[in-house]
Amino acid sequence: MKEETMTFKVINDEGKEIDCEVLFTFESDETKKNYIVYTDNTIDEEGNTKVYASIYNPGEDETKLLPIETEKEWKIIETILDELQNEVTNGDKE
C-alpha cells in the first residue's frame, strides 16, 4: 500500500515557485501552536536533505507559513527530528 505524499508550493525570495513535501505536522502541548516540517528535497553541502519548519494554523482556508522565532520552539522541533532519525537508524539495524 503506497503512502500518499502531501505537497504544496511556496514562492521563494526570488519569486520562483518551489514544490515542497510535507514530512509531518504536529501540535505542541508546550506552546499550543501547530508546526509543519517539510522539505524541498534539495541537498546541503554535507549530503543531507534540507528540512524546514514553520508555524501554521490548520483551520485557515489559505494556509500561511509563519516563522519560528524562539529558541524553545526550535528545540522542540529538533528533539522530534532527532527522535525520528534515531528510529530510522535503529530500525535499519534490526
pLDDT score recorded for residue 10: 87
- Which tens digits make up the pLDDT trace of 57-84? 988 888 889 999 999 999 999 999 899 8
Identify the pLDDT of residue 92: 59
Q: Provide the residue type at 20 as one letter.
A: C
Residues facing 20 on adjacent strands: 8
Q: What's the CA gap between 62 and 24, in Å, rounded?
A: 18
C-alpha cell at 17: 515557485
Where exactly are the structural domains of the chain? 7-93
| pLDDT grade for 1, boundaries at 50, 70 and 90 | low
pLDDT of residue 36: 95
Q: Is the pTM of this model over 0.95?
A: no
3-state secondary structure of 22: strand
pLDDT in tens, 13-63: 899 999 999 999 999 999 999 999 999 999 999 998 999 999 999 888 888
DSSP, residue by residue, 37-55: EEE---B-TTSPBP-EEEE
Q: Evaluate if residue 4 carries a pLDDT over 80.
A: no
